[in-house]
Homo-oligomer: A and B are copies of this chain.
Amino acid sequence: MSPALLHLYNASQATVVIIDVLRATSTIATALYNGARYIVPVDSVAKCIELGRQINCITAGERDGKIAEGLSYGNSPFEYNREFINGKILVLTTTNGTRLLHMALDKGAREIVTGSFANLDAVTEYLIRQKNNVILACAAWKDRINIEDTLFAGAVIDRVRGHFNMECDASHIAVNLYHKAAGDLFGFMKENNASHYNRLMGFGLEKDIRYCLEPNQANVLPIYENGKLKIY
């Protein structure tokens, strides 16, 4: 439920799903679904700018709801339609998600993929097929547990639980939360005053929130290898 808890789990040789529903992993799925060649996740604006100078790519990232200075595009999945992103390389700053991905790498994960409602079925089908130990790793917000990443973890568990043993109480908490919310995820976020709901609504991004809670809008599986997220 938080990167600060990842060390409690044995990630060695596991499949780790990086979850950052609002909006990094939703945007990653969307850009790849719409034909991006690959995506390079970086943890700072400076690294994004640097890579932008080295390779022919789209640089993207936001700070406080605006495109970060020195970058060209934002974090919204709606920016990455096929007309725009097809065939291009996207370098995306995502602080919480990228840090978590590197933590999972350091702990010896066998595979790292990214998950969001946008690619829910692709993730669950992959996990069932792989038959490997799985860690659903919520990016959270500066280590603070958030509702939407927990809901997505719950949605995955709901669909794969017949194929796995659940080894921790947090998984049971996530799937119960998801069952309570499943009928209306957006309404649940609103009612429960979710911190990112408030933050993004404050930037006028209701459309983004609604999209990021909608299953299977961009049903591909981004796999991380050698610094790149790509569909294989």
Contacts and interface: CB of A to CB of B under 8 A. Distances in A.
Interface residues of A, number: 27
Contacts of A144: 5, 8, 168-170
A142 interface: yes
A2 interface: yes
Contacts of A2: 4-5
B192 A145 contact: no
A168 B192 CA distance: 10
Contact of A147 (B1, B150, B169, B194): B169
A196 to B, nearest CB: 8
A124 interface: no
User: Is chain A's binding surface mostly helix, strand, loop or mixed?
Assistant: helix
Nearest to A167: B195
A5 B8 contact: no
A57 B147 CA distance: 46
A168 B145 contact: yes
Nearest to A196: B169
17 contacts: A4-B8, A5-B5, A8-B144, A144-B168, A145-B168, A146-B169, A147-B172, A150-B169, A150-B173, A166-B193, A169-B192, A169-B195, A173-B173, A176-B177, A176-B180, A176-B192, A177-B177
Interface in A143-199: 143-147, 150, 166, 168-170, 172-173, 176-177, 179-181, 192-195
A31 to B, nearest CB: 27
